[in-house]
Amino acid sequence: MMRPSRFGFVLLLFSMVLGGCAAPIHRNPVPRELVLTAEVPGMPWARFIGDHAYAGRGNDLDDRRAEYTRQLRESGLAREPIRFLAVSGGGQNGAFGAGLLCGWTARGDRPEFRAVTGISTGALIAPFAFLGPEYDDALRTVYTTVETRDLVRQKGKLEGLTSDSFADSSGLYRSIQEHITEEMIEAIGREHWRGRRLTIGTTNLDLMEPVYWNVSRIAASDHPGKVELIHKILLASASIPVAFPPVYIDVVAADGEAYDEMHVDGGATTQVFVYPLTLNIGEEFEAMRINTEDQQLYIIRNASFAARHEVVEARSLSIAGRTVSSMIRTLGIGDMFRMYLGARRDGMGFNLAYIPPSFTLEETEPFDKAYMNALFDVGYGLAKDGYPWETKPPYFDLAEE
């Protein structure tokens, strides 16, 4: 997600003021009473919604546990240390996370992650992180060679007012199609059968809830639409509301009728996630007799936690943009607290990386190649030298006093 004050939320204000002129796009949304029953046709296992993941699942959940246990035992992963990776949103700041992963490889002690999750720009990093160092060159290319004009086309005012966004993200979609290849998706599917998981978050805007997509399971399936669906999930997770078009996903509800869901940037509901707190992963692993002696959670926050001073113009758009930037910053801090408390409850080590306050270069456009290269180098250098992972969220010591 790019800095809201620079682009996205200026457009948001325009839509609020002038939206009455817009011609609505025809939709067939899921009725309120059926929203929790909707699923992608032929893929009932493809996702779960917010904290509703385990509500009323019964025998289905038992079957999933049994399948997961079998996969881990057959692959030998049940005896291995557990390493989870969560990659946050941050727009072009994702160059930091990309650099960190590549630098970690260069250091020589980057682990294989049992599970990888991603939101927004983190969703674009996550497939490469999941498949490991073999894909570092492709990850570097994605975050050091593109420019705004490669990914985004700003629409004319009239077109923006009469459509569902002020910019066209078809360039971003083409980039996803180019770099997340069918071969790569098949490789992700093979890792799923070993007991590894890749999960991507989007936001169902009708429901105002996060949706977590089991991308590795989708990749492992023989569904003919899996490649297109994965590409749409990645695009949706990175689609800033109003700035970029929502992604409409076709679903079928319990009444047997076809509907559409509007999905946007996963960062609209959470900046980073690993698993719902309704799931006690420590107890789950113990019940499945999986080694829990060494569990570590790694979080890459593609942002700085330091408050950045900036004189705000006495204009409504400037005030709104700065306000939303502040809200996103504090949401990210809150996510760190949530994940830390969950990890501590579940007996999992907490390891946090984020953009250091010493990095003060300013971007000049939404996807500034010089800025992204500089940030990639920062992440790379820190990781190659042995990243000094934080073991608590920012400001947590103050909360304990």
Just list the catalytic residues.
120, 265
Q: What angle do CA 170, 191, 44 make, to 5 degrees?
A: 65
CA-to-CA distance for 25 and 48, rounded, in angstroms?
A: 27
CA-to-CA distance for 394 and 349, rounded, in angstroms?
A: 16
Q: Exposed, middle or buried by CB within 10 Å (0-12, 13-18, 19+), for 66?
A: exposed
SS3 label, residue 75:
helix
Do residues 186 and 219 lie in contact, with contact meaning Cβ atoms separated by under 8 Å?
Answer: yes
Annotate 203-267 with DSSP letters as a single string: EETTTTEEEEEEHHHHHHS--TTHHHHHHHHHHHHT--BTTB--EEEEEE-TTS-EEEEEEE-GG
Q: Which amino acid is at 383?
A: A
Where helices occur in 273-368 by DSSP H, the ranges are 281-287, 316-345
DSSP 8-state code for residue 72: H
